Chain A
Amino acid sequence: MKPYYRPPPHMFWLHRKPYFMFIIREMTSLFIAGFCLFLLVFIYSLGQGRETFDNMVAFLDSTFMIIVHWIVLVFALYHTFTWFNLTPKVMVVWIGEKKVPEFMVLGAVYGGWIGVSIVIAWLILY
C-alpha cells in the first residue's frame, strides 16, 4: 500500500464561512482583553489622583475613543451571543426527571444577562 498524504489545507479558516466566523469568534477575546487592559489604565489613573483621572474621562470624549469603543462593543456582543448560544449544549440542565429544553436555558441565560446589565448600570449610574 502506498497511501497518498494530502497536505493539510493552508489557511483552512479562509476556505469556508463557518471556519472564518469561528476565527472571528476566537478573536473577539483579543478586543475584550484589550478593553480590560484599558480598564486597568482607568484604575491606574484613579490611583494617580484627581487630575489624571479627569484627563482620562476627558480622553473618552475623543472621536478616536468612541470609534474604538464601537468596534470593541461589536466584537464583545458577538462574543456574548456566540457564548450564550452554545451554553445549552455545554450545560444540560435536569430538573428532577425532566430535561430542561434548550430554549428555556437560553431564555434564562439571556434574561439573566439583561438583568445583570441593568443592575450594574443602575449601581454605577445612580
Chain B
Amino acid sequence: MPKFSDASLAKVKEIIARYPEGRHKSALLPVLHMAQAEFGGWLSTETMDYVASVIGIQPIEVYEVASFYTMFELQPTGQYVLQVCHTGPCCLVGADKIIAHLESKLGIKVGDTTSDGLFTLKTVECLASCGTAPVMQLGRRYVENLTEAKLDEMIESIRGNKS
C-alpha cells in the first residue's frame, strides 16, 4: 500500500485548503501529480485508491480523471520517458525524422520500453514550444531544438551513468 511522506501529507493538506470548504475534490489533479512522482512514475489502482482516501472522495472519481488526462501513466514506464511532440509545427521542421531516429537508436517502437527498463518512447501532442521545435518532454523539463546528435549524446550519457 503506497503512503505519502509526512511532508507530502502536509502538502496535500495545504493544497486542499486552496479551495472552498467542501470543494476538496479540486485537489485531485495536483495530488495525482504528486502521487505519480512519489510512487514510481505511474498510477497503479492501489495508488489511485490511496489518493481517493487521502482527499476524501470515491475511487471511481479518481479513475475517471486519471484515465482522461494524458499526463497520468496507468502502466509502468521506463525510468526515462521521452515524450516527443509530433504536432504540425514540430513536423514542419523534422519531428518525424527525430522520432524515426529514436526508434532506431533505442531499438523500440513508439509506445514501447527498452528491455533494460531505461527508456520509454512516446509521442505527444503540441507542447507549446513550436518556436524551438522539434521538442520533447523529459521528466519535468523540455529538451528543445532537438537534433539527432543531441539525442545520441543524451542517450549515451544516461546509459553511461547506469553502467
The answer to whether A and B come from one shared complex is no
Binding site for B on A (CB under 8 A): none
